[in-house]
Structure 1
Amino acid sequence: MLEKIKETANFIKNIINEIPDFAIVLGSGLGQLKNEVEPIHVLKYADIPNFPQTTVVGHGGELIFGTLEGKKVLMMSGRFHYYEGHPIQTVVFPFRVFHLLGIKNLIVSNACGGVNPNFKVADVMIINDHINMMPEHPLRGKNLDELGPRFVDMSEPYNKKMIEVAKNVALDLGIKVHEGCYVALQGPTFETPAEYGMIKAIGGDAVGMSTVPEVIVAKHQGMDCFGISIITDVGGPDIAYTVSHEEVLEAANKAMPNVIKIVKGLVKNYNG
């Protein structure tokens, strides 16, 4: 695995010839953000050695290197999910590569279900903590000592300074944002009313099927992480709304302009 990570990193490094300031991951329906980047190199996943392929509607399949708000960024248009059948090490493979490229800052985005009663569809939530309820852990097995320690401090999974910068950007722009805890489940089913109730009972504000394994691996490597979610549906033990992937993408599109503004402001104003 380590040799594959190195091979992929070297392939990308030889093309971009720079260390990006940020890696940015686009979640379901969040692909419009890539249009904000002034591209320098666009690499299709299929052309990158050892890179997995995405299979989900709303996820592209490109790695975009370019400029955003005067900073160099490497953007994943489309991510990989455990529910697609990928081994967990495949899901987090790109984040291992990011580390070997020298990237220190990670921005992850997702579409997720809200369980906090104050949330509404198309609201934006800045992630300030998470609970991992996936059946597999991305650090299980032999530790890759070159990349990080056996046991990882997770006392600050989402960088407080990045959160503060993003909140100030939202405040200045008059964008309403929530803060909350994101719970990761395997998927691919949307949650039952009882499962929504369980998420709320254990302290979750939102629930989704990604992000957490990526952040765990990034923290293993000493990266600073920022997470932002679009609430695409709301649920609870007494709510039985129907949910479809099309509705998730529709809600994501509605909230997209605000997410773009917040991410652009964070990239512009955060200097580590």
Structure 2
Amino acid sequence: MAKNIHPSSVIGPDVEIADDVEIGPYCLIQGKVKIGKGTFVEGHVTLGTRHGILEIGENNHFSPGAVIGGAPQDISYKGEPTSLIIGNNNTFREFSTVNLATSKHDKKTEIGNNCYFMSYTHIGHDCKIGNNVIIANDSHLGGHCIIEDGVNIGGVCAFNQFVRVGRGAFVAGSSAINKDILPFSRAQGNYAMVRATNKIGLSRKGYSREEVANVHKAIRIMIMGSHSVDEGVARIQQECTMSENIEYFLNFIKTSKRGLAIDRSPKGWQDDE
């Protein structure tokens, strides 16, 4: 058990804490919780529940008021031992919440590495969050959402259940999202539509100028014109240089279950970068 635990905090008997973990005042940690080394839990943080399983990796930071590993907000949940698995180097700011999974699928809510969740963010049950994801203040994910690597989400956004956001995408603040957001794109609106290519974000992530242009062409094909999605896919295969990113982009389109958040009208596209 870690030595740096404030005496006012309550730690359950099944909790496993690495030696160098620091836990501040008035925290409640209960149930089957495992906390990796280098993690800092500030005051007034709640981790775990009586029933669930919470696994926290290394070097995570939980700010005051965070409630992590709470029961899923789903009336079908009856206390099953489902999980929340958190990777390394993540930050959860004030009053952020992350729920356990339900028993409907793989029984896991998962968060990767190097993510930043700002104040009042909510990650619903069964969500899958990749690596290097940033979610700004007061944005909420319904259950079963998938947010892939390198996604940035602005503040006060609302995501319907089962929405998927492709890697490298940017969702502007105050958006409501009810369909899948294309990888490498910028989306905005209520309901959100893909408006442009996330050129600046891709460049900052190290994509070459040629590959950014290649991805831009693929997104432009999918957005503009009156063709069907299948026709757009065929055009991308013919007109774009096939690369790992383009193959992933096409696979994302083909496997979308909620449909794509695209608007082919001229006003829906912002080609001003």
TM-score (norm 2): 0.25
- Tell which structure's C-alpha radius of gyration is larger: 2
Q: Which of structures 1 and 2 has the larger relative contact order (alpha carbons within 8 angstroms, sep 6+)? A: 1
Higher percent of residues as helix: 1
TM-score by length of 1: 0.25
